[in-house]
Chains A and B, each alone.
Chain A
């Protein structure tokens, strides 16, 4: 993508509420933005360190609950609550990172699933704090001075800003020494270690940033739907994030954003034609098909198609199997 394309895309995103008249369309755009933040967060781990977290809904839920509880029970305003929500999710990411990143592959996946399972059970059973399965209604809409983010248009810009920020953080991280270290780890850990890359340090860093971003997504979700319940920990959310990242292209900057947009807009467009269960069934089949036919995702595939015959196809990144 050239610089001009990037500006065009940014201009399109900024003026989107002008041409989307229907509040419903704007709602879809907001959800796409929130999922964009979540998918970018998961991509940081799955795409760049190669570690799959199937407990990402935990960080999302921690962000949502923290933000909702602080504004509801302690009457905090949105911004400090958001900051604490992000910080707490990051802290959880730090602990999970410290503990779990000694483990790789399937074992890492299992620890993240178990962590999400425990957090979810706490949200159901700690009724005094979380109101149990009934959830917490009436989470206030954010405000900035005299302006409220109660309208969908205003909230859209808030989410867009969060999306932009997350993108910049990812880009900065990935383009730096840290990003190169992470990719080196993903491709060949013993080799990376032998040339002096501090494995644990970089993996924990990736886990912390990833969890913080998921917490940001959770807080934005809570204040948008104005309601938090143990359903935020549903495995469906994690699965959706995984599909978005794998379909969009893991280990690319644009992939998660493309995946999030596609997999928010598409299910909404198909809502009339197919029930939610059919869509989840299709997600499962799609995941299998993607692994077989488009293992690197849409963005790398598009890049190759657009490069066409002028440029030789980019060689597949080497993967070292152990």
Chain B
């Protein structure tokens, strides 16, 4: 029983960051109709920027986190304006090819810049775990969980309570009508892409100190983000949150009770099964697949 609870807790920590990844991707996918295969690269970018800020520039851990998020959002903005804006009237397959190109280019640029050797991000938290009844959690992991929850809440407030969020939701529902009502679609797209990329960078900077940082870490992150989007339904923010937690827990349980070698297979199997059996996602109220 204690073991199960421990797995659930670990799954929750992992799932929180998966939710961050998934929320960014589901907004980009749902609102811009762009299949962003480079999403995981913004996750990697976040981890490396945080590492550089900490280990090379000597900034403290929390400031490095902010720098990573800003860097991710800034590059996302540039990416949208330079590459996606000119292709807005093109088909989804065209932009998908472009994002695959960005993915390969970013990953190999990181490989060239940082080398293939994995780096670890130092953090200021004590390593002794906090024991809470039957379970134990490292203070760093607790911090990651809390911050992920805070960022998810911030994303929710942004989309529900702000003017920008209302414009985003309007664009998601009907781009043309929103444009007629005076919503600047170009600005909304850029903001959405920057926001999603910033969240991905946050997830990278948060998971970086727990795991190792290496150039190809974004590949699995992309696929996990896609599993989350598919679980939660396209453009569905609460769905992505629940989907992320579900995926994190499923992976922990799979690794704990089946085989740790097949941990990453859980996400793949979820993608295949959900797409075949319930393509609109587990939590969708309406058909959301175009």
Binding site for B on A (CB under 8 A): 50, 52, 54, 99-100, 102-103, 105-107, 109-111, 113-115, 117-118, 121, 124-125, 235, 239, 242, 246, 277-278, 280-281, 283-288, 291-292, 295, 319, 321-322
| Contact yes or no, A121 B265, CB < 8 A | yes
Task: State which of B107, B112, B272 has its C-beta within 8 Å of the C-beta of A278.
Answer: B112
- Cβ 8 A contact of A121, one of B29, B219, B264: B264
Residue of B nearest to A132 (CB): B261
Q: Does B147 contact A (CB under 8 A)?
A: no
Answer whether residue B279 sits at the interface, using C-beta atoms and an 8 A cutoff.
Answer: yes
Interface residues as binary, B95-120 with A (CB distance below 8 Å gives 1, 0 otherwise): 01110111111111101100000000
Nearest A residue to B273, CB-CB = A114
Which residue from B83, B111, B275, B290 sits with its C-beta under 8 Å from A322? B290
Q: B residues near A, CB below 8 A?
A: 29, 35, 83, 86-87, 91-94, 96-98, 100-109, 111-112, 219, 223, 226, 230, 259, 261-262, 264-265, 267-269, 271-272, 275-276, 279, 289-290
* Complex A-B, nearest 7 residue pairs according to Cβ-Cβ distance, in ascending order: A284-B105, A287-B101, A284-B104, A114-B268, A288-B101, A281-B108, A125-B261
- Judge whether B104 and A117 touch: CB under 8 Å: no
Q: Is B83's CB under 8 angstroms from A110's CB?
A: no
Is B271 a contact partner of A235 (Cβ separation < 8 A)?
Answer: no
Among A54, A111, A281, contact of B112 (Cβ-Cβ < 8 Å): A281
Complex interface: chain A residues within 8 A of B108 (CB): 277-278, 280-281, 284
Partner of A285, one of B35, B87, B101, B290: B101
The answer to whether B94 and A295 touch across the interface, beta carbons within 8 angstroms, is: yes
- In this complex, what residue of A is CB-closest to B265? A121
Indicate if the CB atoms of A284 and B103 lie closer than 8 Å: yes
Structural contact, B272 and A52, CB atoms closer than 8 A = no
Given contacts A118-B269, A288-B98, contact A109 B262 (CB under 8 A): no
Complex Cα gap A103–B290 (Å)? 11
Task: Contact check, B261 vs A281: say whether CB atoms are below 8 A apart.
Answer: no
A281 to B101, CA, bound (A): 9
Q: B219, A235: Cβ atoms under 8 Å?
A: yes
Interfacial chain B residues near A286, Cβ < 8 Å: 101
A residues less than 8 Å from B267 (CB atoms): 114
Tell me which of B86, B104, B219 contacts A287 (CB under 8 A): B104
B264 CB contacts on chain A under 8 angstroms: 117, 121
Q: 24 A-B Cβ contacts within 8 A?
A: A50-B93, A100-B275, A102-B276, A105-B35, A105-B96, A106-B96, A109-B35, A111-B272, A111-B275, A114-B269, A114-B271, A114-B272, A118-B265, A118-B272, A125-B262, A277-B108, A278-B112, A280-B111, A281-B112, A284-B104, A288-B83, A291-B94, A291-B98, A292-B86
